Amino acid sequence: MTSTYSSKVFRVTFMTLAVTLIIPLLGAILLLECPIDPQPLSFKEPPILTGVLEPNIKLRQAERLFENQIIGPESIVNIDDVLFTGTADGKILRIEDGEIQTLAQLGHGPCRTREDEPDCGRPLGIRVGPNNTLFVADAYYGIYEINPVTGEVQMLLSTKTPIEGQKLSFLNDLTLTRDGRKIYFTDSSSKWQRRDFPLLVMEGRDDGRLFEYDTVTKEVKVLMVGLRFPNGVELSPAEDFVLVAELTLARIRRYYVSGLMKGGADMFVENMPGFPDNIRRSSSGGYWVAMSAIRPNPGFSMMDFLSEKPWIKRIIFKLLSQDTVIKFVPRYSLVIELGETGSYKRSFHDPNGMVVAYVSEAHEHDGYLYLGSFRSPFICRLNLEHV
């Protein structure tokens, strides 16, 4: 009798708790608005991590520089041995002989949270021009040219200027010709800003574009449309084509800017083992590609799993904030060197992000690979002779 009574009490208690939890959850799923309108995407099975892609711990040989002195050094360049980078607090930093100096501040403070970004500014891609001036793409403000000594700032293109009727919401990376005449740059979305990049990734929106800006005539041309989160860009050594990382689709496109193929586009690398961020040239004539996240095979890729399940994405973003969702992205760091034709040459890994985390760019200088990060409070430096 006692056992039967206890069993009934347990069942009633369990059902009461289940109803108490499930009904509000179902109500939230049905009634709450979803901030994204996810599009179904189709991925091939990721390449198996074997051969030159075999997992290793080579990135753990890197040393951390200026730890806790900088925040989110997304992109890095050098003029001789002086380093320059843009950080999450809207600053352009000059680093010489171990000393960090604020060269310029493109926006204005405060710069404490993600919500402050539109006012604070967020410098992303940075390059050195033919006259040793810096060219910087700020996600919110536009493209600038900056004197690396005085910090004098000149705006070249404002995001307030719509291009073919569409606003520039998320300037990302840029590259320029050797003579400095043409700048090629990406706008990752006309809807989402940089502070909402997880929403852009999960929505799979195809409103990204590639542009050409003429620094003499001030003319802007749209070269490619319909891109899903176009990110890093890089000119070929011969300056006959531009590579564009299409992050959401784990691939790199190629657009021809001169020669017989001018105006045409094709695939440079598809179905990559991760989601590509910035692209930079390597000393061997190829390209360094930083992966913002990986698609492990063998293993589980959340992005691949959710790609054809928009309804699950809707539920996730009804119940969780984007800051919570991004915490589920594995801290696996991966940098790949591609050959001049897009073949995989070698790869450097840090499987748990123990030393290198949230890598956004690999910039080669004087036998070292300087690793940028959109989030980490340091720059990493890897001696290429030791790997």
At residue 27 the predicted structure's pLDDT band, cuts being 50, 70 and 90, is low
3-state SS class at 105: strand
Distance in angstroms (rounded) separating the CA atoms of residues 204 and 202? 5
Q: What does the DSSP assignment read for 287-298?
A: EEEEEEEE--SS
Give CA–CA dist 104/125, Å, rounded: 15
Q: Tell the CATH superfamily of the 49-383 domain.
A: TolB, C-terminal domain (2.120.10.30)
Q: For residues 5 and 270, which has the higher predicted lDDT (pLDDT)? A: 270
Question: Residue 16: which pLDDT band, with cuts at 50, 70 and 90?
Answer: low
pLDDT confidence bin for 112, thresholds 50/70/90: confident
337 burial level (CB within 10 Å; 0-12, 13-18, 19+): buried
DSSP structure class, residue 112: S
Which tokens go with 138? 């700020």
pLDDT mean over 243-256: 98
The CB density around residue 183, as the number of other CB atoms within 10 Å, is: 24
Place of tokens 């309804």: 311
Asked whether 225 and 187 are in contact (CB, 8 A), the reply is no
pLDDT digits (tens, 9 = 90+) for 59-101: 999 999 999 999 999 999 999 999 999 999 999 999 999 999 9
What is the average pLDDT across 189-213?
A: 96
Cα(336)–Cα(203) distance, integer angstroms: 26
Residue 240 has pLDDT above 50, yes or no: yes
Give every CB contact of residue 224 below 8 A, 6+ residues apart in sequence. Answer: 209, 210, 230, 244, 253, 255, 265
To which residue do tokens 């706008």 refer? 187
Return d(Cα 162, Cα 157) in angstroms, integer.
10
Tokens found for residue 258: 């001169």
Lowest mean pLDDT among 8-17, 119-128, 259-268: 8-17
Q: What is the pLDDT of residue 303?
A: 92
Q: Do 290 and 382 form a contact (C-beta atoms < 8 A)?
A: no
- The H or E element that residue 175 is part of is strand 171-176
Distance CA 103, CA 133 (A): 12
Distance CA 16, CA 218 (A): 68
Rg (CA), the chain: 23
- Please write the tens of the pLDDT for every residue from 273-317: 999 999 999 999 999 999 999 999 999 999 999 999 999 999 999
For the ranges 10-19, 114-123, 283-292, which has the lowest average pLDDT? 10-19
Q: What is the mean pLDDT of the chain?
A: 93
Question: Quick one: average pLDDT of 167-172?
Answer: 96
26, 202, 309, 29: CA torsion to nearest 10: 10
Whether the per-residue pLDDT at 24 is higher than 70: the answer is no
Give the strand pairing for 287-294 and 333-338.
antiparallel
Instruction: Give the model's pLDDT for residue 200.
Output: 96
- Position with higher pLDDT, 18 vs 11: 11
Query: What is the token pair recorded at 29?
Result: 């799923």
Identify the band that residue 194 occupies on the pLDDT scale cut at 50, 70 and 90. very high
pLDDT at 262 over 60: yes
